Amino acid sequence: MKKPLVIGVTGGIGSGKSTVCNAFVSLGIPVIDTDQVARDVVVPGSAGLAAVATAFGADVLSAEGTLDRVALRRIVFSDPQRRRELESILHPRIRARVAELLQEITAPYCLLGIPLLVEGGKKNQQVERVLVVDCPEEIQIARVMARDKLTEQEVAAIMQTQATREERLSVADDVVTNSSDLAIVQHQVNALHARYLALAEHR
Ligand code: ATP
């Protein structure tokens, strides 16, 4: 069976990645969410969780045996070496699980949601094209304030840790502009769907 064309989807917090992915799902296109995969590889009983506990100690496990993300974040937050260590445990497992999920896909193309694709630096080997979901920062801030009940300063602080709009757009092969209503998003997604089907067909 032909491998699906893999489109990486990225965008800043609250830009509308989930909204855009859902618009593709409504057309029957599968979406793999790497945030979900990152959680799946450290479920209780997994080799991933055992490796994290070996490297970081039992303090990163909750009483129920799940990963205590707050404790782990506290350790890696201000220690780049420990963060790299954590990434060296998680990233290969995430990649392997994504590869398995890709094997199961029968659609001509699929989306791979990677919120921090640009921040990751080097080119992601599992992605053939990059789709950036873009909107002006004021809209991003307003949406996240409304959704997550955060202050403007709190949203701005999160955005400070992410790539800038320009950095993201500079690596985009395709862009969905999500600055008005949902019908306009679906219209752009329909056009991309036709393009991706044609690209998948001719590669
Ligand atoms: P995160 O980075 O936090 O995962 P995201 O990029 O996936 O977020 P969404 O969850 O899709 O973004 O959108 C953020 C919020 O803005 C949601 O509450 C969503 O319902 C709302 N939203 C997104 N796009 C639109 C739109 N075009 N019109 C109105 N509301 C929207």
The domain locations on the chain are 1-30+109-203, 36-104
- Model confidence at 50, pLDDT cuts 50, 70, 90, reads very high
Smallest CA separation from ligand 1 atom 2, residue? 13
> Is the model's pLDDT at 1 over the cut of 80?
no
145 CA distance to ligand 1 middle (Å): 11
Q: Which atom of ligand 1 is nearest to the CA of 22?
A: 11
Smallest CA separation from ligand 1 atom 9, residue? 16
Please tell me the CATH code under which domain 1-30+109-203 is placed.
Answer: 3.40.50.300
Q: Is 157 exposed, middle or buried (0-12, 13-18, 19+ CB in 10 A)?
A: exposed
> Is the model's pLDDT at 77 over the cut of 90?
no
Residues 4 and 108 sit within 8 Å (Cβ to Cβ):
yes
Give the per-residue pLDDT at 124. 87
Give the per-residue pLDDT at 122. 77
Alpha carbon 143 to its chain centroid, in Å, reads 18
Give the per-residue pLDDT at 121. 79
- Model confidence at 120, pLDDT cuts 50, 70, 90, reads confident
The CA distance from 169 to 163, in Å, is 10
Q: Tokens 């393009």, residue?
A: 195
- Mean per-residue pLDDT, 36-62: 96
> Is the model's pLDDT at 167 over the cut of 80?
yes
Q: What residues line ligand 1, using a CB cutoff of 6 Å?
A: 11, 13-19, 115, 143, 147, 178, 181-182, 185
Residues 148 and 13 sit within 8 Å (Cβ to Cβ):
no
- Mean per-residue pLDDT, 154-175: 96
Alpha carbon 194 to its chain centroid, in Å, reads 23
Smallest CA separation from ligand 1 atom 16, residue? 143
* DSSP SS3 for 63: coil
pTM of the model: 0.94
**CA angle, 43 then 46 then 51, to 5°:** 105
The CA distance from 104 to 121, in Å, is 28
Where is 157: in which H helix or E strand?
A: helix 152-160
- Model confidence at 104, pLDDT cuts 50, 70, 90, reads very high
- Mean per-residue pLDDT, 26-54: 97
123 CA distance to ligand 1 middle (Å): 26
* DSSP SS3 for 115: coil
Give the per-residue pLDDT at 2. 84
13 CA distance to ligand 1 middle (Å): 8
One-letter amino acid at 157 equals: A
- Mean per-residue pLDDT, 19-42: 97
Choosing from 19, 31, 161, 187 the residue with most ligand 1 atoms within 8 A of its CB, the one to mutate for a pocket test is 19
Q: Which atom of ligand 1 is nearest to the CA of 13?
A: 2
